[in-house]
Amino acid sequence: MEPKPWRDRIRDEDELLTQLNRLASKAADRRAEALLEGVADLGTVADVARDLGVSWNAVDKAIKKYQRKKATDTGATTE
């Protein structure tokens, strides 16, 4: 059996990378939604971060990135 030509392999890998990026983006959205639920439950970003053992900055950045993306997707502005 002949191996696939390199152009076909590149095309296949590009398609796979696109799918993986889409899946990673959806996972990041779900994670941010869970972080927001954690903030509603525990009260602050710092409390969520402390509970998870991560920096508050990481939690805050994930939430803000999600909120910016959601605002862009819906056409709303943050101003």
Rounded Cα distance between 63 and 55, Å, is 13
* pLDDT tens for the 79 residues of the chain, in order: 889 999 999 999 999 999 999 999 999 999 999 999 999 999 999 999 999 999 999 999 999 999 999 999 887 655 5
pLDDT at 35 (0 to 100): 98
Name the residue among 26, 51, 20, 25 with its Cα closest to residue 38.
Answer: 51
Look at residue 6 in the predicted model and tell me its pLDDT. 96
Which pTM does this prediction carry? Answer: 0.81
pLDDT digits (tens, 9 = 90+) for 17-31: 999 999 999 999 999
Mention every residue, 6+ apart, whose C-beta is less than 8 A from residue 36: 63, 66
